[in-house]
Structure 1
Amino acid sequence: DTREIPDAANAGDPKAMLAAEAFTYRLRKYIGAYYAALGGLDVLVFTGGIGENAAGTRSMACQDLWSLGILIDAVKNRAVHDASEGVIDISHPDSKVKVLVIHSDASRMIARETIRVLGYQALSRRLQASQIPIPIGVSAHHVHLSQHDVERLFGPGHTLTPLAPLEQPGQFACEEQVRLIGPRGAVERVRVLGPARKESQVEIARTEGYRLGIRAPVRMSGDLDGTPGLILEGTVGQVELKNGVIYAQRHIHMTPTDARRLGLENGDVVRVRVEGERELIFGDVAVRVSPKFKLEFHLDTDEANAAELNTGDIAYLDGIQKRGNRG
């Protein structure tokens, strides 16, 4: 049990002391890495066996982290011997980051997750047995533009020119194309999709993100808060987007009738199986339900290439992972 190491170190065991130093050094590295990746920290939480019960480990893990705004109160920290009361604040008054010790109830979490999974078993079996074919739509990189940006890129008064209808009703590919310019490189001739939207958005695959020098988050269309931007170049001008670049989360469009037939709701997360020489199960597939939609499984070119899929191929539901916002 790793909880024996702090006790042995406190008793003067040299190997335990070395192990404790190495362990807390790695903790400081993780804290620093997350600080850099997240752009700062609001709260640092210690939980679990060592996190709750080893004051020395907490102290060593936070040592010399004042430059990150992390400072613990030594007296408060030493006073925490049992975190079962809930949430205990061990932050120093001058600490910019809240440092908390929070009790973890492993048995309760195991029981809750077991109940959750068992509750999904019947529906997952039903989905697997349904064998309802879902057409696949492979989404290449594309751009959605606001009317304001359409005119900045292609000229005052310009409106998008339909080229070909898309599978989803009311959506169409446009004759207009743009150039994407990122910190590292550019992607040429990226198709604009219509109609115009309230806010401009760029959907790319991860390989294109690497080419552009952009690390975008995986998001649903329209969820643009905190996303990176880039420069769009049209025939008459450029637009610098402050945000709006995403890797689109794979998802299934379906009508309310489809959803009722499958026992699904908008916001559910499911698994989707594709067959062939590279049979694969895609997890974390969001379900989107609207009367305006047509049944179709959307994924990007990187995901499609992994299973050698093309638009028009067929996928099948394999199970449910999560029920909307209900956990």
Structure 2
Amino acid sequence: MTAARGQEGWPPPALDPAGPMAGPLNTLSWVLIAMVVVVTLVVLVSLWLALFGPRKWRKTLGGERMILVAGFAFPAVVLTGLLIYGLTTTRQLSAAPQPGEMRIRVTGEMWWWRVAYLDDQGNEVLQDANEVHIPVGRPVVFELDSADVIHSFWVPRLGGKMDMIPGRRNYLRLQADEAGAFGGQCAEYCGGPHALMGLVVVAHEPAEFEAWRARAAQPAAPTALPSGAAVFDRAGCGACHTVRGTTFNGMAGPDLTHVGSRRTLGAGILPNNQGTMAGWISDSQAIKPGNRMPAYPVLTGQELRDVSAYLESLK
């Protein structure tokens, strides 16, 4: 898997958990690593004895009883024990939401993430894209959907991966115990630019999170850059993108109401600034081949500067 190019928090130290949901998985990983080391040593020692050891050992290791015990019974017991341990460790991470739990719905699409913040009844109250904001110290239930093919949601420092399957909703609990940005990635090959389908989870202290949520719920402020908004309109961008507070209400692509405040562009592959925004609009296919946004070679240099400045102002 290729790391997303400009994505904050990536590549993550996968064995450095930053929350209680990742801790048990970290322990499970070390148990599996230790088991691999032990089994490898046993196999190497047994092989050496079978080839070069005393005749007694060679006869014992090649006997029918040893084959039954070491070849069938021992692996069955070890693997069954590991399966039970793993399921016991992770079963609470994928339970359905309980009353009062914070809920965020993330939908995998080719090749980006639609993010919706939900109220207690499961109604959408705020939409974003490719970036998730959560409060520190509070478990969050992620409702994971797919709009097209199988994707997989994975933020290594906060928890394990969970598949996103068309027609089925899976659940995953994550919690961050420290503020910061945590890189994530689609962990199931989904075609085309799969390796460039990244995201970032940003954990805020509770008061800071509430302030962010209040800002994000507001519509876009009246623009001081009408020429850029006019280019956005003439190019038909509003047919695919929503900018709340304007007449642009497309639903096919990411919500751009506050796109200027996001850390990255293109689902984690570019830092967000006016220059990268202009490059993405001009020819996103050269940057992320196969994505569903068309190139706009017809826009002049001035029009690209105007529309990119307008989008960067949406904060």
- State the TM-score bracket (shorter-chain normalisation): under 0.3
- TM-score normalised by length of structure 1: 0.24
- TM-score normalised by length of structure 2: 0.25
Task: From the two aligned structures, give the one with the greater helix fraction.
Answer: 2
Whose relative contact order is higher, 1 or 2, with alpha carbons under 8 Å and at least 6 apart? Answer: 2
